[in-house]
Structure 1
Amino acid sequence: MKEFRDIKINEDESVDDLQLKDLFLIQKLDGFKFGVDAVLLADFANVKSKHRVIDMCTGTGIIPFLVYGKYSPKSILGLEIQEDMVEMANRSVKINSVDNISFINGDLKDLKLLKSIEKADVVTVNPPYKLNNAGIVNPRDKMAIARHEVMCNLEDVIIAARILLKDNGRVFMVHRPERLADIITLMRKHKIEPKRIRMVHPNKCKAPNIVLVEGQRDGGAFLKWDEPLFVYNEDGTYSDQINKIYGREV
């Protein structure tokens, strides 16, 4: 394990090895942890070394670090509404000694803030999936903010993506298949054209439980379906597809 001198790690935090380019991430021991969704989104995003990337709803910063490790873009900015998450993500920047990843505290519904940020070639987002229904009553609940549309909804996310993107820039989103009609409808409403979709299934016998969507700001109408991705084989082992994404030997 790497030593992290002069970087404060709190008792309720862990430092997790991302197993990618010797990168590490600080996370809360009992808080919201990144999962396969973030790994799949980073793999799905078409990022080039010349690109400026903005990650919305960045949380602890997992997607910026995965994107950095995979593609080494020009710069990556993470935007997160929870101040303590931003502080933690910026400590992860120091741990990894990277100079082209940064995080800011802000609300993606703050249009003045969004317009003050330099436009991006690529926007990535792993937004809250669940509708804010009567079962969610505490807007300060950090797990609720991560999982439910408490602080923003899907339309807020798409409006923000349009503002942050350069002309013809691309947004890459991970979400749930049951929201796909909403995603396509709202993208077109705000002049982001859906360009590519990939369904992710637990295995070949189960319906998809994750969808990856690429949209282009002011793009022309043409939609491509990628081959489906199966996370597990029938015997419960990881598929060759997922092993390749995780950088494991196949």
Structure 2
Amino acid sequence: MHGQAADDIETPRDTTETHLLGGRVSLRQPAKGYRAGMDAALLAASVNAKPGERLIEAGCGAGAVLMQLTKRYDDLSVTGLERDPFAYELARHNAHANGVQDRCTVINGDVAHKFKALNLPTFDWAVSNPPYFDDPGAMRPPAEERRGAWMADDGLKAWTQFLIKAVREGGKIVMIHRADRLADILDLMAPKAGSFAIRPIHSFADEPAKRVLVQAIKTGKAPLRLMPPLVLHPRTGPKHTAQAEAILRGEANLYFE
């Protein structure tokens, strides 16, 4: 594993530049392969950090969530863990390009090696958008450049265990995932975390939710709460609903409190 260096980082090849949060974030992403989008924006908007808190993201990719969080919070220290070497280098580049390298650390490592292997103190927050599939037989194999982002080689259990271990007692875990895995997520987290809050994410108001945002508190004991849903797209008119567009611009949040 290698941490963030302080040297100048050249612009990676085979990438394109995207702007997030109404232009406040500049993000280099692969020209081909997995590209962060709405899920990253929703995950970042779900964190309600207090001054001086620390956050880790498991599977940070090119750093879309981390960069949005550093612009949403001036005093939040973030750490990203990413196993893919190219995505890791992109995340390092993006931290420098956005001027947040002093409070953004990127580590080249694997969730499968467990949190203890990082030799880091526990965090206040742990967030993740884990790969949505862990059964290669359940879907058509993705293109090789997308495989790491779509296929969880070590299963959803490895991701939930990492997130739980990464936070202090009372620390918060936030995950965005497929709605049909909600029962699995709750079951995997329940032995060590609770006080669940769930927000359904609907593509359209008249369709079942395809995504869920789940917040859990380590050692939490409060009753489960089902939050108001978020609808992303109207059937006619603009591409996004007013609420979704405000979240993408960084003008609204999805806090669970």
TM-score over 0.5 (shorter chain): yes
Picking from 65, 72, 87, the partner of 1:63 is 65
Given residue 133 of structure 1, which amino acid in structure 2 is its aligned partner?
A: P
Question: Is the partner of 1:166 in helix, strand or coil?
Answer: strand
Structure 2 unaligned residues grouped into runs of 5+: 1-7, 253-257
Separation (CA, whole Å) in 1 of partners of 2:25 and 2:188: 35
Stretch moving more, 61-70 or 138-147: 138-147
Q: Report the alpha carbon displacement of residue 247 of structure 1 after superposing the two structures with TM.
A: 2.6
Query: What's the counterpart of residue 35 of structure 1?
Result: 37
Q: Structure 2: how far apart are the matches of 1:130 and 1:11?
A: 29
The answer to which structure, 1 or 2, has the higher relative contact order (CA under 8 A, 6+ apart) is 2
Secondary structure in 2 matching 1:134: helix
Q: Kindly tell me: are residues 239 and 140 of structure 1, through their superposed partners in 2, closer, same or farther at Cα, counting changes over 3 Å?
A: closer
Give the match for residue 228 of structure 1: 229
Number of aligned residue pairs: 243
Please point out which of 109, 114, 120 is paired with 2:123.
120
One-letter amino acid of the counterpart of residue 33, structure 2: G
For residues 199 and 115 of structure 2, what CA distance do their matches in structure 1 show?
A: 33
| Distance in 1 separating the partners of 2:60 and 2:250 | 25
Aligned residue for 2:245?
Answer: 243
Identity %: 28
Q: 1:109 aligns with which of 107, 112, 115?
A: 112
Normalising by structure 2, report the TM-score.
Answer: 0.86
Supply the distance in 1 between the matched residues of 2:168 and 2:59 (Cα, whole angstroms). Answer: 19
Counterpart mapping for 1:81-120 below 5 A: 81-98=83-100, 99-111=102-114, 113-114=116-117, 116-120=119-123
Report the CA distance between 1:192 and its aligned residue: 1.2
More moved, 161-170 vs 108-117: 108-117
* Cα distance in 2, alignment partners of residues 80 and 212 from structure 1: 21
The residue type paired with residue 223 of structure 1 is: L
Deviations 1:111-143 (A, max 9, x none): 364461121000010000112223789899341
Secondary structure in 2 aligned to 1:93? helix
- Cα 1:107–1:10 shift into 2, 3 Å: closer
Contact kept, 8 Å, 2:56 with 2:81, in 1: the verdict is: yes
| Superposition deviation, residue 47 in structure 1 | 1.9
* 8 Å Cα contact 1:108/1:114 also seen in 2: no
Counterpart residue number, 2:4: none
Distance 1:185 1:11 in 2: 42
Contact 1:129 1:148 in 2 (8 A): yes
1:213 aligns with 2:214: yes
Structural RMSD (CA): 2.4
Q: Which residue of 1 aligns with 2:186?
A: 184
* Residue deviations 1:57-86 (CA, integer Å, cap 9, x gap): 111111111111112343100001112211
Cα distance between partner residues in 1 of 2:143 and 2:243: 38
* Equivalent residues in 2 for 1:127-206, closer than 5 Å: 127-134=130-137, 141-150=144-153, 152-189=154-191, 191-206=192-207
Deviation at 1:147, TM superposition (A): 0.6
